[in-house]
Amino acid sequence: MSNKRKPEIVVISDVHLGTFGAHAAELSEYLETIQPKKLVLNGDIIDIWQFRKSYFPKPHLEVIKKIIDLSTNGTEVIYITGNHDEFLRKFSDTQIGDLRITDKLVLELDGKKAWFFHGDVFDVGIQKAKWIAKLGGWGYDLLILVNRFLNKILVRLGKKKYSLSKKIKDNVKSAGRFITNFEKTVSDLAIENGYKYVICGHIHQPKIIRKTNKKGTCLYLNSGDWVENLSVLEYEDKKWNLAYFSETKKVQKPLLAAITVIKK
CATH number at residue 101: 3.60.21.10
Which residue segment(s) compose the domain that 66 sits in?
A: 9-263
pTM of the model: 0.78
Q: For position 66, what pLDDT does the model report?
A: 96
- Cα–Cα dist 213/192, whole Å: 10
In a domain, 3, yes or no: no
Per-residue pLDDT, 130: 43
Question: 3-state SS string over the chain?
Answer: CCCCECCCEEEECCCCECCCCCCHHHHHHHHCCECCCEEEEECCCECCCCCCCCCCCHHHHHHHHHHHHHHHCCCEEEEECCCCCHHHHHHCCEEECCEEEECEEEEEECCEEEEEECCHHHCHHHHHCHHHHHHHHHHHHHHHHHHHHHHHHHHHCCCCCCCHHHHHHHCCHHHHHHHHHHHHHHHHHHHHCCCCEEEECCCCCCEEEEEEECCEEEEEEECCCCCCCCEEEEEECCEEEEEEECHHHCCCCCCEEEEEEEEC
Contact 36, 243 (CB under 8 A): no
Does residue 74 fall inside a structural domain? yes
Instruction: Tell me whether residue 139 is in a domain.
Output: yes
The CA distance from 187 to 195, in Å, is: 9
Q: What is the pLDDT of residues 63-97, one digit of tens each?
A: 999 999 999 999 999 999 988 777 887 888 888 88
pLDDT at residue 12, rounded to an integer: 98
Mark the ranges of the chain whose per-residue pLDDT is less than 50: 1, 124-138, 172-173, 248-254, 259-261, 263-264
Classify residue 17: in a domain, yes or no.
Answer: yes
Question: Which pLDDT score is estimated for 250?
Answer: 43
Determine how many CB atoms are found less than 10 A away from the CB of residue 264: 14
Can you give the pLDDT at residue 142? Answer: 57
Please write the tens of the pLDDT for every residue from 13-53: 999 998 888 999 999 999 999 999 999 999 999 887 666 66
- Number of domains, the chain: 1
pLDDT of residue 252: 39
Tell me whether residue 53 is in a domain. yes
Residue at 48 is within a domain: yes
pLDDT at 127: 46
In a domain, 1, yes or no: no
Whether 2 maps to a domain, the answer reads no
